Amino acid sequence: MAAMNAGGGAAKAKADLKLIVLGCSGVGKTCLLQRYIANTFSGTEAHTIGASLAMRKWGDLNVALWDTAGEEKYASLSAFYCRGASVAILVYDITDSSSFQKLQELFMPLLKGAGQSCLTVLVGAKSDLLGVKSRQVTKQQGQALAEQQHLKQLERAKTGGASTFLSSVTGKKSFFETSAKTGENVSELFKFIEEIVQSQAKVFKRDPEAFTVEKKIPVKEQHKGGCCK
């Protein structure tokens, strides 16, 4: 994605807000972003080491999209990239219940370092596999977790005294089942987030210097089977 350097070189970017994508390795985080950014799909996409960055323009806002590594050994790096995040997309594989469990155990706790009014959206990925594999996580389970996490973020914002817009967002609507392969609900997911962000532009608009990125972005590790297998 944008701002990646094949040699792991330095990349610079400025953003008004940070969107981070969290979830286990292999659930399709990179494929999800690739479908949104380039409207393409590759079943052999490499696994991410550390994190990779892409930039998007939403109205007057510059948005940094961070794709994080899903392997447990990179958890400390994922925690670093969570800091100050305004939006978090939490991804699991609807045909793999362990990815749903690990999302809750390993990745959602990292949101303690995100912004106090961080918007969270839960995504059940790989809906296209339902004709081949059996569903292991129901829609009801996904919706319940989305609402639970939304209420947790809302309480955190209120406890911290932050001015929050989260009370105007319905937790159950912060849930999507998607397919990066077919494109199902990918546009709807990001449209939902973008509309909320743009409606709260004054809340999100910050000094771009505070979000200047000048780090060595780790290269991606080629892994047999790719991100969506």
Q: Give the model's pLDDT for residue 214.
A: 38
Q: Is the pLDDT of residue 103 over 90?
A: yes
Collapse the DSSP code of 33 into the 3-class scheme (helix H, G, I; strand E, B; otherwise coil) and give the result: helix
229 in a structural domain: no
Whether pLDDT at 78 is above 50: yes
Q: Is the pTM of this model over 0.95?
A: no
At 78, the amino acid letter reads S
DSSP 83: T
Q: Alpha carbon of 180 to those of 20, 32, 221, 224: distances in Å?
A: 17, 5, 20, 18
Domain region containing 136: 18-221
- Say if residues 126 and 43 touch (Cβ distance below 8 Å): no
Q: What is the pLDDT of residue 45?
A: 55
Query: What CATH number is attached to the domain comprising 120?
Result: 3.40.50.300
| 7 belongs to a structural domain | no
DSSP for 153-191 reads: HHHHHHHTT---SGGGS-GGGSEEE--TTT-TTHHHHHH
102 falls within a domain: yes
Q: What pLDDT, in 10s, does the model give residues 20-66?
A: 999 999 999 999 999 999 999 987 655 655 568 999 999 989 999 99
| Nearest CA-CA partner of 210 in 13, 66, 11, 53 | 13
Is residue 6 in some structural domain? Answer: no
Distance, in Å, from the CA atom of 11 to the CA atom of 212, rounded to the nearest integer, reads 10
Phi, psi of 28 (to 5 degrees): 105, 25
Q: How many independent structural domains does the chain possess? A: 1
**Residue located via tokens 């550390």:** 50
With beta carbons less than 8 A apart as the criterion, state whether 45 and 30 touch: yes
Q: How confident is the model at residue 1 (pLDDT cuts 50, 70, 90)?
A: very low
The pLDDT confidence band at residue 215, using thresholds 50, 70 and 90, is very low
Q: Can you tell me which residue has the tokens 């406890």?
A: 159
> Is residue 174 domain-resident?
yes
Biggest CA pair distance of the chain: 48
Q: Which residues are within 8 A (CB) of 221 and not within 5 positions of it... i.e. 6 or more apart?
A: 46, 47, 48, 49
Structure tokens at 150: 């939304």
Mind listing the pLDDT tens digit for each residue in 178-190?
A: 999 999 999 999 9
In a domain, 41, yes or no: yes
Is residue 9 exposed (0-12), middle (13-18) or buried (19+ Cβ within 10 Å)? exposed
Torsion angles phi and psi, residue 43, rounded to 5: -75, -5
- Mean pLDDT value across residues 75-101: 91
pLDDT tens, residue by residue, 117-171? 899 999 999 999 999 999 999 999 999 999 999 999 999 888 877 656 888 888 8
Shortest CA distance to 105 belongs to which of 84, 125, 77, 75? 75
d(Cα 196, Cα 173) in Å, to the nearest integer? 12
